Structure 1
C-alpha cells in the first residue's frame, strides 16, 4: 500500500505492514465486505506489565488474528484483518500484544469508526439507523453512547433562573415508566434529561447541586402536578411555581369536553332526531374548544348534517341550543379563557370562585381545584 492510500484510509501507523495483495472482498450475510489484511509488529521498548526495559530479552511470541470494523468506503463496509504480534517477557513470564493508536484495547471497532458514531449521535436519528448506516450492531452504538455519558461531568454550581420541567415517555426500560425533562427558560434550550421522574430520584439528583445554585432558581414552570410542589419546597427554597398557559387552557378544555361528551351520550340513546343531534356534537367537537373570537365566519353549504348554508358560529349556536347546561358551561368557560388571554387575572380568579346556575357540577369542581393552584 502506497503512502497516498494510507493517508486516504487514515492507516498512517508505521508499524502496520501490508502485503502485495492487501484487499479482498467477501460476502457476509448477503453484504459485500471489503477486507484489508495487514500485520502489526515492532520491537517494544519495555514490558508493560513489569516495566523492565527491553535490551533484547523480550521475545516475539507468535501472532494472533484480530478483526476491526473500520466504517465504510463507497457505501461498503470496511474490515481490517490485523495479524498482531505477541511478545513474551522472560522477567515476569507474561505475554502482551502489539498495540496501535488506531485501535482501542478490547474493542472491535476502530477509533475512526467510534468518532463517526459520535458524529452521527449528534444528529436527530435513531440508534437503529446509525447502526444500519455504519454496518455495526445497535449494542455497539449504545456502548459508545454510554461511554460518552460516563465522561459527562455535571456542573453542580449552576442552575438557570427559570427552570421548565415536565415528564415524557421515553423507553420501556425507563424507571418509573416516565422520564424527566428540564429546559433552561432563560436561554430556551434543553438543560438536562433524567431517566426517572419519581420524586425520590429528583431529590437525590438536585440535592447534589450547591445551595447557592438551588437558591438561584426563581421560577419553576410546570404542569399542575401536585407532586412537584414538594420538590419546590424542599430543593428550590426561593423558587416560585408558575403553571404554563398550555396546561391551564387544556384544563379548561377538558372540562368543556367532559360536558359535551355527557350530553352526547344522553342524546345518542334518544329518538332519531336526538341521535342526529348527537352525531353533530361528535362531528364538530373542535368548535367547543376554540375561542369564539377565532371561529370562522366564512359561509358554506353543509349538506350532511344541516342541509343549509352555515358558518362555524351558526353551527356552534345550533348545537348549544340542544342543552341548557351545555350552553351555560360553554359561556362560563369562554369567559374564563377570555379573561386569561387578556391577562385580566383579577376577573379570572373572581370567575373561578363563582358558582353560576345551570353550569355543570363537574365544571364547578374543576374550577375550584384550579383556584387552589
Structure 2
C-alpha cells in the first residue's frame, strides 16, 4: 500500500514485511506526547526455527495468531514515535513448536530500534551527559549505558592476540589526559595502530599490558622503541621473550644533538681567539 511505502521511507525502515495501517494516534506517556503508528509484521517462513523442517505447504507451518510489541523507532519533529507492531506467530505441525516473525528493525527480545541505538552511539562521540542523551532520544539511562559498553567492546583491542613485532612511542595528545605524554603502539609489519593509551608512565602501561593473556605476550619477538629508559624495564617485564630494537630515527636524532652540543661548545671557545673559525662553525 502507498501509505506503508511513504511511512517506511520517512522513518528509514527497510523491512518490506512490515505493513502499516492508516491509523495514527497520540498517547501521553510520562508527561510527553508520543506519536503512535500501527503495523503488522508477516511473511512466509522458509523453515521451522526449532526443528528445521522446510515449509513447503500448509501441512508444514501455519500462521498462529500475533504477538503485540511496542517499539521505540525514533522521532519526528522532536516528538517520540512508537510503533505498535503485531508480529506474526507460526506453528510447526511437525514438532508442534511456535515461533515469532523477526525483523531487521529491532534485535530479538528488544523494543528499541537499531536506528535509535545507532543514534545513541553517534551522540556518545560528543561531550555531553548521559542524561541529556536519554532525554533527547526518549530512552532510559540503562539503554545508553548498554550501548556505550557495546561500542567500547567493539573498539577495544583483542586481549588474546598480539603481533610478533611491535613498535612503541610516545606523543603529546590532548590536555585532559592523566599524563603529560600519551602512548601509542602498533604492528611493526603492517603499521596498523593497535591502541593508544592516555598515559606513558611505567606503572600505568604495566597494568595495561598485563591485561593481555600471557600466551599473547610471549608471542612478541621484537619491540622497536625510542631511547626512553623506563620502556626497557617495561618490555622485559611484559614481554619476556622480546628483543629490544632502538629505532634508527632516535639514534640519528641523539647523535645529531650530541654533535650539535660539541659544535656549540667549540664555537664558543673560539669566539675571541679565532673569529674566522667561529663564524664557520656558527653557519
Query: What TM bracket, shorter-length normalisation?
Result: 0.5 to 0.7
Offset at residue 126 of structure 1 (A): 3.2
Contact 1:40/1:85, CA 8 A, preserved across alignment: yes
Contact 2:39/2:83, CA 8 A, preserved across alignment: yes
Offset at residue 29 of structure 1 (A): 0.9
Stretches of 4+ aligned residues off by more than 4 angstroms: 196-201, 219-222
Structure 1 or 2: larger helix share?
Answer: 1
TM-score (ref. length: structure 2): 0.65
Offset at residue 89 of structure 1 (A): 0.8
Cα distance in 2, alignment partners of residues 8 and 221 from structure 1: 60
- Which shifted more, 148-157 or 196-205? 196-205
Offset at residue 49 of structure 1 (A): 1.5
In the other structure, the counterpart of 1:53 is 54
In the other structure, the counterpart of 2:169 is 162
Cα distance in 2, alignment partners of residues 116 and 221 from structure 1: 45
Contact 2:166/2:220, CA 8 A, preserved across alignment: no
In the other structure, the counterpart of 1:356 is none
Contact 1:163/1:220, CA 8 A, preserved across alignment: no
Give the secondary-structure state (helix, strand or coil) at the position aligned to 2:210.
helix
Give the secondary-structure state (helix, strand or coil) at the position aligned to 1:20.
strand
Among 76, 98, 115, the alignment partner of 1:112 is 115
Cα distance in 1, alignment partners of residues 44 and 79 from structure 2: 34
Cα distance in 2, alignment partners of residues 185 and 89 from structure 1: 54
In the other structure, the counterpart of 2:65 is 62
Contact 2:4/2:19, CA 8 A, preserved across alignment: no
Contact 2:162/2:220, CA 8 A, preserved across alignment: no
Runs of at least 5 residues in structure 2 that lack an aligned partner in the other structure = 247-260, 262-283
Deviations 1:89-116 (A, max 9, x none): 1212211001112121122211111221
Structure 1 or 2: larger strand share?
Answer: 2
Cα distance in 1, alignment partners of residues 32 and 143 from structure 2: 19
Cα distance in 2, alignment partners of residues 139 and 219 from structure 1: 46
Report the aligned-residue RMSD: 3.9
Runs of at least 5 residues in structure 1 that lack an aligned partner in the other structure = 171-177, 223-227, 241-342, 344-373
Higher relative contact order (CA 8 A, sep 6+): 2
Q: Which of the two has higher C-alpha Rg?
A: 1
- Match runs of 1:125-164 below 5 Å: 125-152=128-155, 153-154=157-158, 156-157=162-163, 159-163=166-170
Aligned length: 224
Contact 1:131/1:137, CA 8 A, preserved across alignment: yes
Call closer, same or farther: CA 1:120–1:197 in 2, change over 3 Å. same
Among 197, 210, 220, the alignment partner of 1:211 is 220
Deviations 1:288-307 (A, max 9, x none): xxxxxxxxxxxxxxxxxxxx
